[in-house]
A and B are shown apart, each in its own frame.
Chain A
Amino acid sequence: MSRRDRLTCALGLTLVLVALTVALVACGDTSDGGRRDMDDDAKVTALEDDVSSARDGVVRAVAAALGSDFVGGKRRHRWCGESYAPRGVRLDEHLRFAPSPLGVQGATDAAARVLEEQGWTVERPGNPAVVVGTRGAVEVRVEAGPAAVQLDLGNPDCLETSDDVARAFADRDIADVAWESPSS
């Protein structure tokens, strides 16, 4: 068999196998249908509740301890994989605050202390300006700098759902995070 023939065979085999796979995947994706989507919707709602609770609880406490005023924030809705296989969802709330008067070291120390006091598992990675707190599926990442303090909270590990649920989640509009200061 010539090299050209082998390439032709390989190409043909590839096309057949890819078509077969697409067909199988399509069958597999519809096999458990609506019931799974309802379960997944409930999981997503629970995740959103957990993130909102973290924002209204430990994040507020961290911001207060740092003495940093809220500047703005965005809530991001994303799928985990690619458009043809989204796999699940990731929620990320990005919150930006003014720099802390405690300085970078003081701010990260204070953030770690608050997280620990509220029962979060605290990690200090190699970057001394970063503190990470974890509770359940939710992670709070605090990064302090001379120009800003930024907090990201969400689920770094993919929450697996059906592809349809993941697509619907990622289709949501970008949302500004509402933040009312304690005095208002």
Chain B
Amino acid sequence: MKPGLAFSFGYDDGSLHALTSARTEAEVLLRDVYSLPEIDLDDFSVLFVSMHSDQRFLASRAPQIEEYLAGGGVVVANGHYAYPYLPRMAGFHTIDNYRLSDITVLRVAEHPIWHGIDPHDLTFRRGVSGFYGRVWHDAPADAQIIHALGKPDLPLDFIYPVRRGRVLFHGGNDLWSFGGDDKQLAPRIMQWVAEGRDVQ
């Protein structure tokens, strides 16, 4: 499988370290987000967009990202969707003065990336809630919803098709920083990407 590509943002962050240091099916390379115009995305099996990415810049490259997806690429995008850099995405909804019940992670569908991970362990980190997600997004109508926030119809994690490609959207802190040492999500995401390639 081709390597994955993660956009870096100029300073060290534990999240990117968790992604590039994990034992993955294929390696994940780091490139500064602003080098995107010079990158041939077809050299990569999956594109990781951290929550710390300059979405305004990515929106200026939306045609390049859509072309990559249409050709069978995979984008794993994190954070709150503030600028239109992905096809078929809409905005997000904040929850004012949220309580625990508003931001409890609910599993709506089983998926191999999260297999064996208790949603409770996503809701809480050392007893503190909110790291995994605090807002919900409008998902495309044909999206597969994996997790919802507080109520089953408020999407938090979802996967949707863009022609031959797929977007995995996680509306919170970088997905690959969860799962703990024994259930790291980065290798699982790469495995999922690899299996999708086999199907195609």
A and B: interacting chains: no
